[in-house]
Amino acid sequence: MRVLARSLIALTGMTALASPALAMPDAAREIIEAAIAGGDEREIATVAKYAEKAWPDATADISARIAAWRVERMVAAMPAGTPVKPEEPAKAVAEKAPAPPVPWKGKGELGGYYATGNSNYFGVSTGVKLTRDDPVWRHAIIVQADYQENDGQTTRERYLVSYAPNYRFNAQTYVYGLGQYEHDRFLGYDSRYAISAGIGYRTPNGKPLSVELEAGPAYRFTEFVDGGAESTAAGRGSISVEWKIAPSLTFNQDAAIYVDSLNSTINGTSALNAKVYGPLSARLSYNVQFESAPPTGRETTDRLSRVSLVYDF
């Protein structure tokens, strides 16, 4: 009976939301159904948006199909014991059904190279970014590693781990927290810890160009490779830009700065991402890290170019 009730509710929602508009073209229906099969709310909304632009006469049918999918999802999320009546409208079902749990989403990145001959080179660059968004909180975890050998000698070794929770006041404004760990002995520090908190602002969603800004106080503690340590209060600022050049091509620019009386740091990454197939993308990026007062004998600027594959999950 429960299965029959759910089926009747889904059918009722679809019938109620249907429109006498022109039938949806087969091409539009295929991409909408493919997006729904993926189950990603944001991707479904994006596909529907561009489908409505491409087939304006089928806007009503496209909207009806998306609305019906939402009803189906809410019904499927209802616990087994929830009483339902076939004649209940979609709105009543939505109010009764519990909100589905917010999933973690991520990006995994891997790039590397290996060469033999007059010189032997080996290098690998890898990273993982996990994010979770709900109506109030957003969580982001980043893990990165870069390693390189030249003729058996390590020439680069950098690791970074960070965690950043955000609390939203509204769609654009939020407060953030940040905890970060770095290791880069070629820049002169064995371990560097940073904590920060402040306020952030992001431009409204749904536009080809989005910008996110953060600013606040910070505290850093550094342990150097050659011994010794220092701790300083600092100011932190960051900017993140995403430009959707085309449906399958995106440009990203991320930069963060720590300013303190002993050593200021600027880290910036420019990246071009191109969809290859499904969740797989190719990524070309260029990273620059500047230290205003590195330990004696170290360069102030470190640069790294990466070519890698990115998998969305």
Low-confidence stretches of the chain (pLDDT beneath 70) = 1-23, 75-100, 115-119, 206
Q: What is the pLDDT of residue 112?
A: 83
Q: What is the pLDDT of residue 86?
A: 54
Burial class (CB in 10 A: 0-12, 13-18, 19+), 24: buried
Ranges in the chain annotated CATH 2.40.160.40: 105-312
- CA angle (94, 99, 100) in 5-degree steps: 120
Distance of CA 309 to the CA centre of its chain: 15
Q: What is the pLDDT of residue 258?
A: 97
Q: What is the pLDDT of residue 22?
A: 47
Q: What is the pLDDT of residue 214?
A: 97
Q: What is the pLDDT of residue 9?
A: 44
Which listed CATH number (2.60.40.10, 2.40.160.40, 3.30.1330.10, 3.40.50.1980) goes with 105-312?
Answer: 2.40.160.40
